[in-house]
Structure formats: C-alpha cells, structure tokens
Amino acid sequence: MSGPEVLIVGGGLHGLSAALHLARRGRRVRVLEAGHLARHASGFSAGGVRTLGRHPAEIPLALEALDLWHRIEKLVGDDCGFRVSGQVKVAESSADLAVLEERAASLRSSGFTHEEVVDAAELRRLLPAVAPHAVGGMVTRRDGFASPYRTSLAFGRAARALGAEILEGARVTAAERRGGLWHLRTADGAAHAAPVLVNAAGAWGARLARAVGERLPLGFNAFMMMLTARMPAFVIPVVGATSRPISFKQAESGQVMIGGGHKGVASLDTGATTLDVKRLAYSARTALELFPILAETRIVHAWAGIEGVTPDDIPVIGPSALAEGVIHAFGFCGHGFELGPLVGDIVAQLATQGSTNRPIAAFAPARFGGAAAACGAALPQPAG
C-alpha cells in the first residue's frame, strides 16, 4: 500500500476531526499523537458547545459548527453526550444588562440573532435557582454541552473506520522538507513522509511550526475545572456571568462542573499541570454567589488542561505563510471544542482543494508577520 497523503500531528479533537474529514474525502491520512488520544486539552475540556459571546471572527464558524453538533451522531456514529441545554450569561446589575443589550444590538447590525437578551422573569424561568440579585441575561437556546473525551474518541473511531491510521505514542521530534514531501521522525525512530502536514499540536503548535520554518507567537494556559458531589437537578443550561469569569453546568450525574478560565501552572516540556487552589477558591465563591444552592455540596475533584493561547485570543487556522504544504489548526485559546467538528472540514478543504469557502482570513498564520525559522530543527521534547 502506498504511504499517506497527509500527516497530522496531534491526536486531540482537531487532529482527529481533520483525519475524519480527510478520510471522508478518500484521502490516505496518518495521525501521529505523542501520548494517547485526547491526552491534553481535548480530554480535559469542559465540553461547552457555545456560540454565546464568541469573538466576531469566530461567529460564522461557531454557528456552522453548531449545526454539525445538532447532527453529530450522523457524522461520527455516537451522540458524543451532546445535549441541547442552551447557554445563559447572567446579568448581575443594570450595567451588565446594558453590556448585553449593546452586544445584541451590534450582532443584529451584522445580521446575527442567535444571542437573545432576556429579562429577569425569563432568566428565572430558565434558571429557577439563580441568586435574587440577577436582573436578566443573554441566552443562546441551541447551544449545549457534550462529553469531550467521548467526542474525541468518537472522531478517532469514525476516522479509523474510513481507513485513517492513528498512531499513539508517536512523538514527532524532527521535521524536514525533502523532494516535495514532509519527512517526520518520531521518538521511537520511525520515519513518516507525506506531501501535506497538518499541525494540530495544540499548545505545542508553535514548536512544530518552528521546526517547519515558521515562528508563530503562542503562549499557553493551564485552564482549571472543578467538579462537585452529586446534587439534585437544579440547572439545565450552561451558565456564565457577564462581568466575572465563571462557567458552570450540571451533568446528568447531578455533579456540577465549574470553570471559567482560571489558570493553574503548566510545563510544555513535561505536560504536567499544577492547580492554583486560591484561584479555584475564588471560582467556587463566584459560583456560590450566583447559585446559593451550591452551599449544599462540596468539591470532589479538580483538574487543569493545557491549551495554546494566541496574542489576539483567536486560533491559528490556515496554510503556513512560509512552509510549503503545511496547514495549521492550533491555539484555540480555551474555546476550540465547539469548533472542532467544523475546523476539521476546513482543514480537509485546504488540504485537498487549496482553499476553503469558510471565512478564515482572521485566523491566518500570516497575521503575525510571518517570521521565518530554520526549517529542519529538532522539536523541543513535547509531553507524552
């Protein structure tokens, strides 16, 4: 059998979604994952399927991705735990409400009506347990949440069923362009070659970019989450606040998952994360202030996941400005889960047609100035 046409580095949701969409187009594709599938952000995600509050450049993609979520079982043969719960951003003051009204008006002027401002009565109908000081909110009724690990594995399974090769324990340590092919070497000494290389290496995306000859600015965060003990059902939508970083939802198990972008500490070299307990306590207090009923439970688990973060807080999606045959899809800044099912299709379009009909100009790697790096340099060791 002949070798792969596309090599994908990274077995998180984005690498696996690209693999599925390429395999659906009949392409020979091989995924190289350093550890095991969904080992990093995609396995630790909160799983919010959220179009609410998106950066303007992300809105068209988020809305199209949401349509895919509503038929996810058709795409991957598993419902991925997707539930249409709606998402609500609570206004805790009239100033908050004014911010939401301004946002809704600005969206309407661009033709988007998916974010809807609601008054206190409707807010209380949606969130009967919300604190008395809440005065209204913003709701996206078709949003929801899904199970991140299950989703990632479902994409991997569906891709494999269509012939994609997915290798775990395959840490890419070097990349070189020779004879019209990308030659990758993995830590176990194996060699892999294909004309097209997809960089879906998440928080390690800039390391791979540099090895193929392009410097891109990428930081990383260890976003933290907490899980409570089981509680009687009291909230259906995923909830956020307008002027405080908080996000939470109650799972079918009755456990409440609390997040919102609070950061711990991480190392890209080891893949290890350390929780910042003070920040977690602050996050728990915020949740308690919004939903006093949480005083009846306790935190039973907390974790952090490493995610790539760009200077403008939107991902890098598109062909490399400098390296021939390289397509980047990384740096999702804490909100790439919802986009996963669609971005894989965009990557597949770019790999097979050289273009996409989706509006991705804002995500172009070239927006950072396109500084060259020495191609062929070894990658710093990523996490296993």
Binding mask 306-325 for ligand FAD (x = CB under 6 A): -x------------------
Taking the least distance from each CB to ligand FAD, the nearer of 45 and 255 is 45
Least distance in Å: CB of 145 to ligand FAD? 7
Q: What is the DSSP string of 309-328?
A: E-TTSS-EEEE-SSSTTEEE
Residue 118 and residue 121: Cα distance in Å, rounded? Answer: 8
> Does residue 29 interact with ligand FAD by CB under 6 A?
no
Taking the least distance from each CB to ligand FAD, the nearer of 97 and 338 is 338
Residue 212 makes CB contacts below 8 A (sequence gap 6+) with 175, 177, 182, 197, 199, 320, 323, 326, 375
First to last CA, the chain: 29
CA angle 149, 209, 36 (to 5 degrees): 25
Least distance in Å: CB of 124 to ligand FAD? 24
> Does residue 201 interact with ligand FAD by CB under 6 A?
yes
Alpha helices in 223-369 (DSSP H): 277-290, 340-353
Binding mask 333-372 for ligand FAD (x = CB under 6 A): -xxxxx----------------------------------
Binding mask 251-270 for ligand FAD (x = CB under 6 A): --------x-----------
> Does residue 379 interact with ligand FAD by CB under 6 A?
yes
Residue 192 and residue 11: Cα distance in Å, rounded? Answer: 16
DSSP state of 108: H
Taking the least distance from each CB to ligand FAD, the nearer of 7 and 97 is 7
Q: Bridge partners of 371?
A: 215
Residue 250 and residue 88: Cα distance in Å, rounded? Answer: 13
Tokens of 77: 């043969």
> Does residue 156 interact with ligand FAD by CB under 6 A?
no
Taking the least distance from each CB to ligand FAD, the nearer of 122 and 168 is 168
> Does residue 382 interact with ligand FAD by CB under 6 A?
yes
CA-based nearest residue to 193, from 382, 30, 330: 30
3-class state of residue 236 by DSSP = coil
Least distance in Å: CB of 100 to ligand FAD? 20
3-class state of residue 215 by DSSP = strand
Taking the least distance from each CB to ligand FAD, the nearer of 294 and 383 is 383
Taking the least distance from each CB to ligand FAD, the nearer of 97 and 223 is 223
Q: Bridge partners of 136?
A: 91, 119
Residue with tokens 């099912």: 341
Question: Which listed residue (23, 27, 48, 212) binds ligand FAD by CB under 6 A?
Answer: 48
State the residues that interact with ligand FAD by CB under 6 A. 9-15, 32-35, 39-42, 44-48, 50, 171-172, 200-204, 208, 223, 225, 259, 305, 307, 330, 332, 334-338, 379, 382-383
